[in-house]
Amino acid sequence: MALPLEIPPRARSAIGASKASPMYNLRSSIVSTGSTTSLASLFAGTGASLPRDIVDDIKSVIHHAFVPHIAVHVSDDVNDIIREKGLPDLYQLIRSYGEKVQGRITARDSQGSSVTFEDFAVRFVRLSDIAQRPDRNSRNGAGSTLRNGGQWDGASAESMNSEELPLVDELLDLHLSHAEELIETSLATEAESHTGQAFYLLYLRKLLSGFPVTSHETFSHPVACLIAISSRNPSPIDTLRQLYKSGAEMEIPGYVNKEYLRYYVLVHDEDKDDIQKSTALFEQMKRHFGLHCHLLRIRSSMCIVSDEDSVPLAKSQWLPASDELAELHSRQEDDIEGDSLSRFIHGSDESAIKTMIREMVAQSIIPFMERNIASWNDQILSRRKGIGGRVLSFSRRFLGSTATRSATNSATASNFDPVTNSYDPVTPEAQMRKLADWAFMLRDWKLAYDVYNTIRTDFNNDKAWLHVAGAQEMTIISLLLTGQAITPKIRTDTIDVYLDAACYSYVTRFRAFYAALRCLLVTVELLRLSGGSSAELAAKWAIKALDLNIRPTVGRALISQRVGDCYAVRQGAGSGGWGGRRRKAAMWHVLAADTWIQLGKYAQARHCIDVAMPRYMSTEFVYIRRFLDQLKLDSGHVNLLDLGSMKISDDTEKDSADTDDVDEEKVDIAEALIEEGEKPRFDGKRRSILIPQTANGDAPGMMTMEESFNDRPL
Amino acid sequence: MAGSTTSYYFVIIGTKDNPLYEAEFGTFKQGGDGVPKFREEQRHMNQFIAHSSLDCIEDLQWASKEMYLKTVDKFNNTWVSCFLTGGNIKFLLLHDARSDEPIRQFFTDVYDLYCKTLMNPFYEVNMAIRSQTFDQKIKAAAKKYL
């Protein structure tokens, strides 16, 4: 077999450059040509900012993570109709449509100017899930967590335990294995491009999609509740009242405010029921319950692919990892037994659902939230911030400190209840937190930042550490989202201090690894987007996130890769790239590759090696070289450049006999390159090639070594 | 760093990120025997850490007048101390506890030795240092200070 030795050195370095990410691309080609240093300084600045779409991707993940939650509470007859359609319940039918509310949504911010969102989203949850979730977690968590000198108590802390994390890891593992299969069978060459950022975004999304219901934040508390009955119900108004009552009486944790908006929906069955009767009923509903009502007209018949207006049921992007895992497992069983769930719905149904959600969000939920934000802002925040409030809180603090000294923890001093580790929802503290969270959901970062800043000190006075940590976390996130320039002073005085304190509280005081990880990763992403020295800070905190997770899991590999990405964002100045972090980025990519290999995800490992390689191409560090050669062998990675210039040392070649048997013939690109001559065209689709091995274990196309590394001095 | 006693990894890095001289030694303090206690997988990590800390050195070298830049970087429990010569040759020492003064003295001795090597007419900048005498003297300096 011919070797690509004919490729002249210049062209070879061009191959090496094109395989790498664009940042390396530029630099390595310059280094190799040597004479174009002035060009380098021209281009040095361009790599500093990230491409527009990546910024949007990450921002939208973060925007969509913190959205209003809407509980769904329906009567049995509604679910009967949905079951006839072939879906388990109404929640499953509508949940994916909440992820992209049709059209634009306009909200008013605290200054009174209106803001338009193209991509507003809401998340549906079953009301019963909110009631169950803390229970389920505390039951499982109770065994593993110890009471810690009375530092923390109650179900709220336990519910944030890290049990979601292994599930996220498991899910990602499934996704990755699937992608890996596609690559191995070379069905998907473009799947290679997914190896970079896409999986990390997926990881982040899954991590952010299942917020536990806790006392220290209200994102997962319902903003509204959708109460639905169907046209089949014999006593509709009574049933609605019943649902209202059963919803209110449901055992929701005490810190969840039950004063949420009720939205009444009448589900009309187009196929079987009379629309006139339903309209009359709907009018009656409006009289009884006011304006927050909607008539949803859907068909009860099952829809199959061949139907005229069938559309696939939208796939939910924001399913919590546990749910998605369950779904994947059940689908695997279905494949054997035959499909039991319908994957298609009528087009008319889809548009009816979209219209309902749009109407509900635009006409009921947003105004409801705006109204509440305005009134809380008025009544609580201004009072707290005004002179009277200052005096009040000061005297309370004074009284509180004496009270705790004389009597043990009397309730007069603070509203904080240390037994349940929560505030009652009617206390000013809880309402302010809610105000901040809601402002955050409506993307009024400025207001949210102000309020988080204010309540942080309140929580601090009450020694409500979990709440302090929550407020610190959100202070940083909202500060970063305001787009204010991050000065070094803010970096050291605010971000570093708060992040450190929040992580300490989460991890040491409450063992809430999930909360800590979420806090770190969201901040890391936002810092990374700011670029420059913030990116280095991002890397620093991402490394801290690694400490939370010692075992080699998918999450760990993805985060190490992210550390590398964070460093890579920081570009140096001038032709030398002074102040850049290229070497660090490369090192972290190599470490990620190592973890990927331990996990058996070779395509990921190859991708990481590809990114890191240009930095180590001509390194004279013996062990680095040897380690990289080993990684390449383990992952089945042979890069084109190596064929000409690299040598494999004796001992590693021996190992190659018992590594994976590569059956794919993928050298065609190499051959194509040779035929084309000096200027190889490289479209970036295939970044590594696999070399088939001959019977004696030698890979053809490897050069034999000319000198051993061993005789270099140590 | 691995092992119960302190181990050091010392490297001189040339202007093109190329190692000129590498050595590992253990501590003689606290009854140490001076034998490095690096596990096999730490070997490449040492080199990775040293190599990646060059990024930080490039930042710091403009900010300080001193040749001894003290600790410049940290990776897990490994600290990196650096001494930068006028010719942009870096002496890096990886250690697992902060102790500025002994390391400064060590670096000063190494700088001495390096200058003497430079005076050798057969030695050029960025050439690997293979001299046995140099090696012995470095080890002696390590024994004295570290």
Nearest to B59 among A579, A587, A713 (CB): A579
Is residue A335 within 8 Å of A300, Cβ to Cβ? no
Q: Check whether A314 has a pLDDT greater than 60.
A: yes
Confirm if A329 and A112 have CB atoms less than 8 A apart: no
Tens of pLDDT, residues A216-236: 889 989 999 999 999 888 888
CA distance A295 to A255: 32
- Judged by DSSP in three states, A221 sits in coil
The token pair at A499 is: 């992040």
The distance of A714 to chain B (nearest Cα, Å) reads 5
Question: Position of tokens 């009955």?
Answer: A229
Q: Is A68 on the interface with B (CB under 8 A)?
A: no
User: Which position has the higher pLDDT, A73 or A179?
Assistant: A73
Cα separation, B67 vs B108, in Å, equals 10
Placement of tokens 């000061």 in the chain: A394
Closest CA to A7 of A698, A685, A595, A681: A681
Q: What are phi and psi of A301, to 5 degrees?
A: -75, 150
- What backbone phi and psi angles, to 5 degrees, belong to B14? -80, -170
- The secondary structure of A375-430, three-state, reads HHHHHHHHHHHCHHHHHHHHHHHHHHHHHHHHCCCCCCCCCEECCCCEECCCCHHH
| Cα dist from A60 to A100, A196, A403, B47, whole Å | 11, 18, 48, 39
Segment A674-694 mean pLDDT: 41
Q: How confident is the model at residue B98 (pLDDT cuts 50, 70, 90)?
A: confident
> Is residue A230 within 8 Å of A266, Cβ to Cβ?
yes
Closest CB to B55: pick one of A584, A621, A624. Answer: A584
> 3-class DSSP state for residue A442?
coil
Cα–Cα distance measured from residue A172 to residue A178, given in angstroms and rounded to the nearest whole number:
10
Per the CB < 8 Å rule, is B55 touching A626?
A: no
Model pTM greater than 0.90?
Answer: no
- Cα angle at A611 between A592 and A524, to 5 degrees? 55
Q: How far is CA A559 from CA A348, A539, A601, B90, in A?
A: 43, 10, 15, 31
Residue of B nearest to A536 (CA): B56
Nearest 5 degrees, angle CA A648-CA A652-CA A654? 115
A288 at the B interface (CB within 8 A)? Answer: no
Q: Which of A45-54, A199-208, B5-14, B73-82 has the lowest mean pLDDT?
A: A45-54
Rounded Cα–Cα distance for residues B97 and A140 (Å): 41
Candidate ranges A133-142, A384-393, A678-687, B25-34; pick with highest mean pLDDT: B25-34
User: DSSP letter at A362?
Assistant: I
pLDDT in tens, A624-643: 999 999 998 888 876 555 44
Rounded distance, CA A88 to CA A90, Å?
7
Phi–psi pair at A45, nearest 5 degrees: -75, -25
Query: What 3 state SS string does chain B have?
Result: CCCCCCEEEEEEECCCCCEEEEEEEECCHHHCCCCCCCCHHHHHHHHHHHHHHHHHHHHHCCCCCCCEEEEEEEECCEEEEEEECCCCCEEEEEECCCCHHHHHHHHHHHHHHHHHHHHCCCCCCCCCCCCHHHHHHHHHHHHHHC
Strands A344-346 and A310-312: antiparallel
Most A CBs within 10 Å, among B46, B51, B132, to test the A interface: B51
**Mean pLDDT for all residues in chain B:** 89
Tell me if A503 sits within 8 A of A523, measured CB to CB. Answer: no
Burial (Cβ within 10 Å: 0-12, 13-18, ≥19) of residue B61: middle
| Each residue's pLDDT tens digit, A562-605 | 999 899 888 777 666 677 888 999 999 999 999 999 988 888 88
Q: Given a cut of 90, is residue B109 above it in pLDDT?
A: yes
Using a CB-CB cut-off of 8 Å, the residues of chain A touching B47 are 621-624
Q: Which two tokens mark A117?
A: 């969102």
Give residue A139's pLDDT band: very low, low, confident or very high (50, 70, 90). very low
The complex's ipTM works out to 0.93
Q: Name residues whose C-beta falls within 8 Å of residue B70's C-beta, 6 or more positions apart in sequence.
A: B81, B82, B100
Amino acid identity, position A16: G
Which pLDDT score, from 0 to 100, does residue A638 have? 65
- Say if A624 is an interface residue toward chain B (CB within 8 Å): yes
What residues of chain B lie within 8 A of the CB of A712, using their CB? Answer: 128
- Residue A528 makes CB contacts below 8 A (sequence gap 6+) with A58, A534, A535, A538, A565, A566, A569
Interface test with A, best of B55, B84, B131 (most A CBs within 10 A): B55
Residue A345, strand partner residues: A311
Q: Which one of A584, A591, A624 has the shortest CB-CB distance to B47?
A: A624
C-alpha B134/C-alpha A135 separation (Å) is: 68
CATH numbers and ranges of domains, chain B: 7-145 (3.30.450.70)
pLDDT of residue A70: 93
pLDDT tens profile A459-471: 998 888 999 999 9
Instruction: Go through chain A and tell me how many residues it has.
Output: 714
Angle between helices A22-33 and A37-44 (to 10 degrees): 160
Q: Binning pLDDT at 50, 70 and 90, where does residue A267 land?
A: very high
The fold of A66-154+222-333+343-368 is Rossmann fold (3.40.50)
d(CA A603, CA A382): 56
pLDDT at A675 over 60: no
Residue A19 and residue A642 in contact, taking contact as beta carbons nearer than 8 Å: no
- Cβ contact B21–A572 (<8 Å): no
Tell me what percent of the residues of chain A surpass a pLDDT of 90: 25
Q: Does A586 touch chain B (CB under 8 A)?
A: yes
Mean pLDDT of A248-271: 87
